[in-house]
Amino acid sequence: MVLHKGNLSTVSTFILLGFSEYPHLQAPLFLVFLLIYTVTLLGNLGIIVVTRINPKLHTPMYFFLSHLSFLDMCYSSVFTPKLLAILVVEDRTISFEGCMTQFLFGCTFVITEMFMLAVMAYDRFVAVCKPLLYTIAMSQRLCALLVAGTYTWGGLCSLTLTYSLWELSYCGSNVIHHFGCEYSAILSLSCSDPSFSQMACFIISTFNETCSLLIILASYVFIVVTIAQMPSKGGLRKALSTCASHLTAICIFHGIILLLYCVPNSKSSWLLIKVSTVLFTVMIPMLNPLIYSLRNKDVKETVRRLITSRLSSHSM
Q: Within 10 A of 145 (CB to CB), how many other CB atoms are there?
A: 11
| pLDDT band at residue 166 under the 50/70/90 scheme | very high
Average pLDDT of the segment spanning 185-196 = 88
Q: State yes or no: pLDDT of 108 exceeds 50.
A: yes
Q: State yes or no: pLDDT of 94 exceeds 70.
A: yes
Average pLDDT of the segment spanning 295-312 = 67
| pLDDT band at residue 310 under the 50/70/90 scheme | low
Q: State yes or no: pLDDT of 150 exceeds 90.
A: yes
Q: State yes or no: pLDDT of 8 exceeds 50.
A: no
The residue ranking higher by pLDDT, 253 or 312, is 253
What is the chain's mean pLDDT, rounded? Answer: 84
What is the value of pTM for the model shown?
0.87
Specify the amino acid at residue 205. Answer: S
Instruction: Give the residue from 102, 95, 124, 310 showing the smallest Cα distance to 224.
Output: 124
User: What 3-state DSSP class applies to 89?
Assistant: coil
How is the beta sheet containing 93-95 ordered, strand by strand?
93-95, 13-16, 175-176
Query: Which CATH class, in words, describes the domain spanning 21-306?
Result: mainly alpha
Average pLDDT of the segment spanning 43-72 = 89
So where are the chain's domains?
A: 21-306
Q: Measured between alpha carbons, how far is 290 from 287 in angstroms, rounded to an integer?
A: 5
The residue ranking higher by pLDDT, 260 or 114, is 114
Q: Are 112 and 68 in contact (CB under 8 A)?
A: no
Write the DSSP assignment of 223-259 as a string of letters: HHHHHHT---HHHHHHHHHHHHHHHHHHHHHHHHHHH
**Alpha-helical regions (H) of the chain:** 26-53, 60-88, 96-129, 134-137, 140-166, 183-187, 195-228, 233-262, 270-278, 284-294, 297-315
